[in-house]
């Protein structure tokens, strides 16, 4: 932990020194909520979000806050170690071509609906989940698709000597629709109840024991499972592409983590709803993934179970500038040269792509150093080839 702020109703515990003003203000809003449990934890990659900073962790025994989960419910990482110890540039290019033909990128979907057996099973009948049931058929065309923004597929070389595969993606439009619906429902209900929490904070809540709160949690969990199914399908397509180009290849079991969700957990002797928004669970011995930015290392880590962070850690490098700011400020030539010098096959083609350049993100090594009380590094992975959404 780097610092503790004690000026608000509840403490704010930070794992970084240089938090931006907007993200700090959001953490202060959280710390002044009447139902916060113990303290607010702010991870090393924190930056401004909607309502709650990305990289924030908040617990409450009484309520769930849709904006403290975020719009890409269940967004997360998966990684697979392969038996390969080397792969040529020509082979990488062939693998990337196969991936692009098998996995729709950006806003693209499959032309045909995927088989229902590949969709998550619901805890309750689908008709009891209003948004999931409404979006279910559309979601079948989005299963196994990458999406845009900071989502990526990467082929990497680990310092363990093996080639690795990694995917970062989420719940696509079904998660977005669920998040927006329940955030607006919470806003309306809070208005009806005369909530004293300022609407400007964007932290409208639902009581956990209410019908609306329970339905949101059920729909949210479905979206978490959909995001997992989405990553799993993409990883299978990536493995098939690699197997076709560089056989024989054997694969270790997939590591999977989510970093946008809320879950009931026990902390400090009490059961509380832990919200992780751009934060990864890091229980003692739990294997996790902390990706870097395009052109920088990613890390396979083991959690240390630090109770002060609610057993959480950073979910990535974290942005240091907004998307439009990056496009205005960064040099395309310099960012391309940075990747080219490392021999990375990348998709940085135009100024429009600079929002996902390394220069737009924090130093991943500093992020890791700031949280060595939360995780231990097991494997460092350096990028060989990158596909961005």
User: Looking at the predicted structure, is the pLDDT value of residue 27 above 90?
Assistant: yes
Measured CA to CA, the distance from residue 50 to residue 46 in angstroms comes to 12
User: 257 is written with which tokens?
Assistant: 């983590």
Residue 278 · residue 43 · CB < 8 Å? yes
Residues 217 and 262 sit within 8 Å (Cβ to Cβ): yes
| pLDDT band at residue 304 using 50, 70 and 90 as cut-offs | very high
Neighbouring residues of 238: CB distance < 8 A, sequence distance ≥ 6? 95, 99, 103, 153, 165, 167
Instruction: Return the DSSP state at 51.
Output: S
Containing 42, the helix (H) or strand (E) segment is strand 40-47
pLDDT band at 56 (very low <50, low <70, confident <90, very high): very high
pLDDT of res. 162: 98
Between the CA of residue 24 and those of 127, 192, 261, 278, 340, what are the distances in Å? 40, 29, 21, 15, 36
Choice among 47, 275, 315, 346 that is catalytic: 315
pLDDT of 268 reads 98
| Model pLDDT for residues 351-363, shown as the tens digit of each residue | 999 999 999 999 9
Mean pLDDT of 251-266: 98
Cross-strand pairs, 376: 302
Tell me phi and psi for residue 318, to 5 degrees: 85, 135
110 catalytic per annotation: no
Is 294 a residue whose pLDDT tops 90?
no
Structure tokens belonging to residue 276: 């992780």
The span from the CA of 197 to the CA of 183, in Å, is: 14
Measured distance between the N- and C-terminal CA atoms of the chain, rounded to whole angstroms: 33
Rounded to an integer, the average pLDDT of 107-131 is 95
The answer on pLDDT for 372 being more than 90 is yes
Look-up: residue for tokens 């110890």?
85
Average pLDDT over residues 95-124: 96
Adjacent-strand bridge partners of 236: none
- Helix (H) / strand (E) element for 41: namely strand 40-47
Specify the pLDDT at position 347: 84
The 8 Å CB, 24+ separation contacts for 282-286 are 282/306, 282/309, 282/311, 282/312, 282/313, 282/374, 282/375, 283/311, 284/311
Residue in the block written with tokens 């205005």: 328
| Residue 294 φ/ψ, nearest 5 degrees | -60, 115
| Statement: residue 233 has pLDDT above 90 | yes
pLDDT in tens, 188-232: 999 999 999 999 999 999 999 999 999 999 999 999 999 999 999
Residue 234 has pLDDT above 90, yes or no: yes
Whether pLDDT at 368 is above 90: yes
- Which domains are seen in the chain, by residue range? 3-320+361-388 (3.90.1860.10)
Residue 389 confidence (pLDDT) = 82
pLDDT digits (tens, 9 = 90+) for 328-347: 999 999 999 999 999 999 98
Give the per-residue pLDDT at 20. 93
């Amino acid at each position: 932990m780097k610092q503790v702020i004690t000026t608000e109703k509840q403490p704010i515990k930070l794992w970084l020194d240089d938090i931006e003003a907007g993200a700090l203000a959001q953490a202060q809003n959280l710390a002044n909520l009447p139902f916060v449990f113990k303290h607010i934890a702010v991870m090393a990659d924190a930056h401004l979000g909607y309502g709650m900073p990305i990289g924030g962790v908040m617990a409450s025994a009484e309520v769930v806050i849709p904006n403290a989960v975020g719009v890409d419910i269940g967004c997360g990482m998966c990684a697979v170690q392969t038996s390969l110890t080397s792969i040529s540039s020509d082979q990488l290019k062939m693998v990337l071509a196969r991936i692009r033909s098998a996995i729709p990128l950006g806003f693209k979907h499959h032309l045909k609906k995927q088989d229902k057996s590949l969709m998550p099973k619901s805890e309750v009948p689908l008709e009891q989940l209003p948004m999931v049931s409404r979006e279910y058929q559309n979601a079948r065309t989005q299963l196994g698709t990458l999406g845009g923004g900071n989502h990526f597929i990467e082929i990497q070389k680990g310092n363990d000597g093996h080639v690795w595969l990694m995917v970062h993606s989420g719940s696509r439009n079904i998660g977005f629709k669920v998040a927006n619906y329940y955030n607006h429902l919470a806003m309306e209900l809070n208005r009806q109840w005369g909530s004293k929490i300022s609407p400007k904070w964007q932290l409208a809540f639902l009581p956990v024991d209410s019908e609306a709160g329970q339905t949101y949690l059920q729909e949210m969990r479905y979206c978490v499972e959909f995001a997992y199914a989405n990553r799993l399908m993409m990883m299978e397509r990536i493995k098939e592409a690699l197997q076709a180009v560089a056989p024989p290849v054997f694969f270790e079991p997939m590591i999977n983590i989510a970093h946008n969700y809320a879950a009931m957990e026990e902390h400090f002797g009490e059961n509380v709803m832990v919200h992780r928004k751009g934060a990864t669970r890091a229980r003692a011995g739990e294997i996790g993934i902390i990706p870097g930015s395009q052109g920088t290392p990613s890390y396979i880590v083991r959690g240390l179970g630090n109770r002060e962070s609610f057993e959480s850690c950073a979910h990535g490098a974290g942005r240091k500038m907004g998307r439009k700011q990056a496009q205005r400020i960064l040099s395309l030539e310099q960012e391309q040269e940075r990747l080219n010098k490392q021999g990375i096959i990348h998709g940085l083609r135009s100024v429009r792509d600079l929002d996902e350049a390394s220069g737009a993100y924090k130093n991943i090594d500093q992020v890791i150093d700031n949280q060595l009380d939360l995780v231990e590094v097991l494997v460092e992975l350096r990028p060989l080839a990158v596909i961005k959404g």
